[in-house]
Amino acid sequence: MAWTTQDRLKPYASKRTGPCITPAMRKEIEEKYFPRYPWKQACMLPLFHMVMHEYGYIPPEAIGEAAALLEVTPAQVSDAVTFYEEFRFDPSGAYVVNVCRSIACELGGHEQILAKIKDVFGIDPNEMTDDNKITLFEVECIGCCEFAPAALVNGKRHGPLTPEGFVKTLAELPATPVDTDHDADLATGS
């Protein structure tokens, strides 16, 4: 019997033609944030919030570009960015659903919310629906304990939730998100 080997360690090959950190992002960081902080690396989180808002995730190329802009090593950038669970490194669906798992939401039944989402959409946390519409995450406190159990859908707060009501809300989402104000009134999804 012969053993067949496969080379599975293929280096990442970028498909991008331009920089991830756009000239507009660079300008805003340099003009608005650099003057506010004693060290350039202190601007890392605002920079990656811009990148997340632009692409919905952190493309791998952004790590090196940020390191050059902030005058730190790529390892320092990677260490900082991977610390925060809100930063994602893979493309996500049109709707990012963050179900809170903090103590108030746990006591309010967040597990039933997740179970109902799995029953209806067939996804667990950190998975995306086959149609690329919804990506589900289970996250720490979102600051809506008085509305527990609560969730964010593309940054918009929902709660208090019931399993049936929230799944109905998700099912009725249009195919393409409408850009809305994240500080809008709390949607109940119950």
83 or 179, higher pLDDT: 83
With a CB cutoff of 8 Å and minimum separation 6, the contacts of 52 are 58, 86, 87, 88
| CA 18, chain centre distance (Å) | 22
Average pLDDT over residues 37-59: 91
Q: Which residues contact 41 (CB under 8 A, 6 or more apart)?
A: 70, 71, 72, 76, 80
pTM for this one? 0.70
The average confidence (pLDDT) of the chain is 87
pLDDT of residue 182: 46
Q: Which two tokens stand for residue 113?
A: 């919310």
Q: Mean pLDDT, to the nearest integer, of 81-93?
A: 85
From 1-15, 93-107, 128-142, 167-181, the region with the lowest mean pLDDT: 1-15
> Is the predicted pLDDT of residue 69 greater than 70, yes or no?
yes
Letter for the amino acid at 45? L
Confidence bin at 152 (pLDDT 50/70/90) = very high
Whole-Å CA distances, 93 to 132, 156, 169: 5, 15, 16
Predicted confidence band of residue 89 (pLDDT cuts 50, 70, 90): confident
Q: CB-based contacts of 110: which residues, under 8 Å, 6+ apart? A: 99, 100, 101, 138, 148, 149
